[in-house]
Structure 1
Amino acid sequence: MVVWVLTEARYAYSPSKTSSLSRYVQNVLNEDFALVEALRACGLEADRKVWSDPSIDWSAADALVFRTTWDYFDRWDEFQHWLREVQKVTTLINPAACLHWNLDKHYLLDLEQAGIPVVPSVIHRRHEALSWDEASQGFASDDLVIKPTVSGATKDTYRVRRRQNAWHLAPAHPDSIEELWSSLLQRQDMMVQPFLPSVVANGELSLMWLGGTVTHAVKKQAKPGDFRVQDDHGGTVLPHDMTLEERAFAERAMHAAVKVMDRLNMGEPLYARVDMVRDLSGAWAVSELEMVEPELWFRMCPDAAGVLARAIAEHLNQPSA
């Protein structure tokens, strides 16, 4: 069977041409190549393709595995059209319905309704006639975070703090919060959340779910003076020895998500990442549950790529796949 691991044009390098690249890009490529090699070890004919390449006949693959397609939110209309078309001609991993559901952070409300603690989130629709003063009401804090419901790499994500009766943005922006909020809401659905001090003090945990089990975890910590934990914003990522409590919370979140997806006939994910933080009360809460193109940090758990590859091979060998 032919399986293609999907990336974006920025990372369209071969394994032999990585020595001159930045450490960040090298890590991206090593992650993708680790999965390609693991798939080949399972007897699959695996390769790596750029999702936006118009010359590719996607029906030539038995399955497409979404990995480093991290430009999709910058090309949202194009990506949505491509996704709708490609799901007609081949198998998507994760399943197409799962991808559509998880691409938009409205899914956090579904998890909350299923009883999973999530970071409190209020979502406002694109073009909604709503000032920032109105959007910021109803929170017990003057320290908030705004972000799009469809985004990645903290694009259009800001911490908004009121100090001395004035709102301050981080990262800094030339517009006022009223102007910025109005501009963002004209372009996309936006969400408002309370800022959680634990993100700066203790970081964010990410637990990887591969083939139906939690395999490993990492801890992401923001650089001093920032709240963004992503390594492309200067954050650090280290292996984390998860506790039984942490594992149990991630498993509970995933089992609830799978139940929601089963109820909506979406199919089940073969991979996911549970991002979790301490809320204002000190309890665990899901900040994101990524099932489209999460970084999975195979490099911090050498067996993880093989776990996912074997799950993919088993899935494709089922009669209904």
Structure 2
Amino acid sequence: MRVAFVTTSDLDAIHDDVDLPLQIVAFANAGIDLVQAAWEDESVAWDSFDLVVVRSPWNYVKRLNAFRKWLGDRRGLTTFHNPVELIEWNIDKRYLADLAHQGVPIVPTAFVDSIEEFHSAAQSFGSAEIVVKPSVSAGSRLTGRYLKTDRAAEVLASEILAKGLTTMVQPFAARIDAEGEIGTVLFDGMISHSFNKAALLAEGGQLVGGEYQEQITSVQTPDDVLVVVDAAASAATEVARGAGWISKDQQLLYGRYDVVRLDDGSPALLEAELFEPCFFLPIDVDAADRFVGAVLRRLSA
């Protein structure tokens, strides 16, 4: 059995991949031939693998048009997980509106395409601070937290719009400074593990500690957060089934659902990462084996 992990030839983008060492061992122990294949490598015969996991093409934002073309050229390949069409939907965070339409509680979000819309959206939120970011982004790129009165927020929104991207505006959930966010990873529709990620964004468009650094710790996930995770996972799965991207009885191979608490204490979905998420496998000693188990079930189906 041959499985490909879609990655990148940009070594700077993947230098801190905490999952890969554990996955290499787990796949080897299961007798699976695991191949790391860069999406930029035109010599790769993607249809020669029994399964392809879109895992760490973490430079895609820098080469968005090329990556989208690469994805589009592989539509219909049933060995890709998650399916290409789902990734094309999930790559733009406007998918949050689709999930909200299905009843998933999300962080209030306005998607704007002009500075006028930006100003209107910023003033519509009751919070003193807002978060500004592109609808297509990763690693807090072009993302900032600002007071609504800070002109730097408008400058960032203008920069995003000038790149031809939709700008997202959200109220800053102040509890994240003390509580962080909770990420929950599902393999084949079943919860594997959860983790807490400390706040990344500091005031005035800065990063906590002055650089992008993810601080991950173990967490006992509260029941109300799990309710949001279940709602989001179910809604995303139904989107995929309804569009014919997966069969009616199939689950998504993997997904990560990040939840924060709003100022009133209620949990809300911040993001549903259905391609290229870091699973933070070191947080749970059995997590890598659970992922291999999900892959094996696909290979034997």
- Look up the match of 2:136: 150
- Out of 187, 190, 196, which is 2:167 matched to? 190
Query: What is the RMSD computed on CA atoms of the aligned residues?
Result: 2.6
SS of structure 2 residue aligned to 1:37: helix
The structure-2 alpha-carbon separation of the partners of 1:58 and 1:12, relative to structure 1 and needing over 3 Å to count, comes to: farther
The structure-2 alpha-carbon separation of the partners of 1:147 and 1:54, relative to structure 1 and needing over 3 Å to count, comes to: same
Write out aligned runs for 1:196-275 (5 A): 196-222=173-199, 225=202, 233-267=212-246, 268-275=251-258
Letter in structure 2 aligned against 1:68: S
SS of structure 1 residue aligned to 2:55: strand
- Out of 104, 118, 122, which is 1:136 matched to? 122
The separation in 1 between residues aligned to 2:121 and 2:224, in whole angstroms, is: 35
Letter in structure 1 aligned against 2:213: G
- Look up the match of 1:308: 291
- Look up the match of 2:39: 51
1:76 lines up with 2:67 in the alignment = no
User: 1:233: how far off?
Assistant: 1.4
State whether residues 87 and 274 of structure 2, in contact with CA within 8 Å, keep that contact through their aligned partners in structure 1: yes
The separation in 1 between residues aligned to 2:186 and 2:240, in whole angstroms, is: 16
Percentage identity across paired residues of the two chains: 28
Letter in structure 1 aligned against 2:196: K
SS of structure 2 residue aligned to 1:151: coil
1:297 lines up with 2:273 in the alignment = no
- Out of 96, 102, 119, which is 1:108 matched to? 96
State whether residues 36 and 47 of structure 1, in contact with CA within 8 Å, keep that contact through their aligned partners in structure 2: no
1:97 lines up with 2:76 in the alignment = no
- Look up the match of 1:9: 9
SS of structure 1 residue aligned to 2:175: helix
Write out aligned runs for 1:275-290 (5 A): 275-290=258-273
User: TM-score of the superposition, structure 2-length normalised?
Assistant: 0.88
Return 99-108 or 56-65, whichever deviates more: 56-65
User: 1:168: how far off?
Assistant: 5.3
State whether residues 118 and 169 of structure 2, in contact with CA within 8 Å, keep that contact through their aligned partners in structure 1: no
- Look up the match of 1:173: none
Letter in structure 2 aligned against 1:238: T
- Out of 153, 156, 160, which is 1:180 matched to? 156
- Look up the match of 1:16: none
State whether residues 209 and 272 of structure 1, in contact with CA within 8 Å, keep that contact through their aligned partners in structure 2: yes
SS of structure 1 residue aligned to 2:150: strand
- Out of 48, 51, 66, which is 2:54 matched to? 66
State whether residues 73 and 150 of structure 1, in contact with CA within 8 Å, keep that contact through their aligned partners in structure 2: yes
User: TM-score of the superposition, structure 1-length normalised?
Assistant: 0.83
User: 1:152: how far off?
Assistant: 0.3
Number of aligned residues: 294
State whether residues 228 and 269 of structure 2, in contact with CA within 8 Å, keep that contact through their aligned partners in structure 1: no
Q: Which runs of 5+ in 1 are unaligned?
A: 14-23, 170-176
Return 261-270 or 287-296, whichever deviates more: 261-270
User: 1:132: how far off?
Assistant: 4.2
State whether residues 39 and 313 of structure 1, in contact with CA within 8 Å, keep that contact through their aligned partners in structure 2: no
SS of structure 1 residue aligned to 2:136: coil
- Look up the match of 2:145: 159
State whether residues 181 and 260 of structure 2, in contact with CA within 8 Å, keep that contact through their aligned partners in structure 1: yes
The separation in 2 between residues aligned to 1:223 and 1:255, in whole angstroms, is: 28
